[in-house]
Structure formats: structure tokens, C-alpha cells
Amino acid sequence: MRAKVLGVQAKCVEIGAVNFRTYKNTDLRVSEVGFGLWTISTGWWGNFTEGEAIALMHKAFDLGVTLFDAADTYGNGLSEELIAKAFPKQRDEIVIATKVGYDFVHHGEARGRGQREIPQDFSPEAITRATDAALRRLKTDRIDLLQLHNIRMEQVYDDALWTTLEKLKSTGKIRYFGIALGPAIGWLYEGVNCI
């Protein structure tokens, strides 16, 4: 079968239905294949227009993908804005995962192209501000999965951080929380100690 996506003729393979699973200890039922917005919102792997990015997201959704993974730092908020624009009426049909922890508000332009880290801020105030800002960009009242982006060991043992996440959960701003570790940067012990 041939399909035309973004004006490009492509050979597609019929793979059948998308499988779903429920994250352990949650009621989040997600497609086993998710759509990560890093590549379409940062410009690191080519530039996508807003229309092209949304067309890709719609195609994934039409094929059964329900998990959309963003981060506030991807495109300095662009990845979250794209989810809001792509799915203004499908909020209850998708699972939104996003990440917080990098201070892109003050340092986002310093990153440039490529994988270069900017300063992080995992203080309770910063995490609360970042969550509220993400909710505004996503144009939603809740984030299904809020992840701490490339957390460091000192934050793993910071009780105030975890208390803040529990408060965000109890207010309904987030449903669940976890961590997201970048394998290229190599956090191992942080992940082991969070499990």
C-alpha cells in the first residue's frame, strides 16, 4: 500500500491494530507505540512547519496512537502547544505525557542546536510554575503523566520535590508522575534509585 504524507509518496506496510497496555499501578491505558514530539519541535532533525507537525500527529492518531510525549523544553514550549493545536477536541482520547525540570525560560536560547544541556531547576516553586505553564500551553486542566526530565541524584533524595508532586496530583493538575532519563547522557543510578 502507498500513502502520501506531507506530500511525500511512501510505501506503508499494513501492521494491523495498535496494541494497548495499562501502565502498572495506574489507570493510564496507552498505545504501545507513542508519538514523541522532540523531533518535530526542536529543529534538530530538520524543520517542520506547524501544519506538517500537526499532520504527522493526526496520522499517528488515525493509526491508533494515543500517547503523545512532550517536554516544556522541546522547542521552548512548542511541543506542548502543538498537542493543544492538534487535538483541541480529543483531550479525553489521548494521553499527554510531558516533562519539566530544565530552566528554558531563562536559558532556552543558549542551547543552540544539538544535545547541549541547559541549567535545571527542580525546586518546588519551579516545578509548580513549570506545571502551571505546561497546562496553559497544552490548554488542558490536567497532565496525565508529568515526568522529571533528567533528574539528578540530589533531587532523587529531595523529599520536598516528591511532596510537591504529590500536591500537584492531589489538586488534579497531574494524574501521575515519574522520571524521564536521557540514555545518551547516561543517568543510571538516578533511575535505579527512583524505581
Q: Examine the residue annotation and report whether 176 is marked as an active-site residue of this protein.
A: no
Q: What torsion do the CA atoms of 14, 15, 16, 21 make, to the nearest 10 degrees? A: -150
* Cell numbers linked to 173: 493538575
Torsional sign, CA 88, 91, 93, 99: positive
**Catalytic-role residue among 23, 74, 157, 176:** 74
Residue 194 backbone dihedrals phi, psi, to 5 degrees: -90, -20
Q: Report the distance separating Cα 40 and Cα 144, nearest Å.
A: 21
- Cα–Cα distance measured from residue 148 to residue 63, given in angstroms and rounded to the nearest whole number: 29
Pairing of strands 67-69, 34-36: parallel
Residue listed under C-alpha cell 513549570 = 130
Provide the grid cell at 188.
Answer: 543510571
Report d(CA 69, CA 79) in Å as an integer: 9
Annotated active-site positions, please? Answer: 74
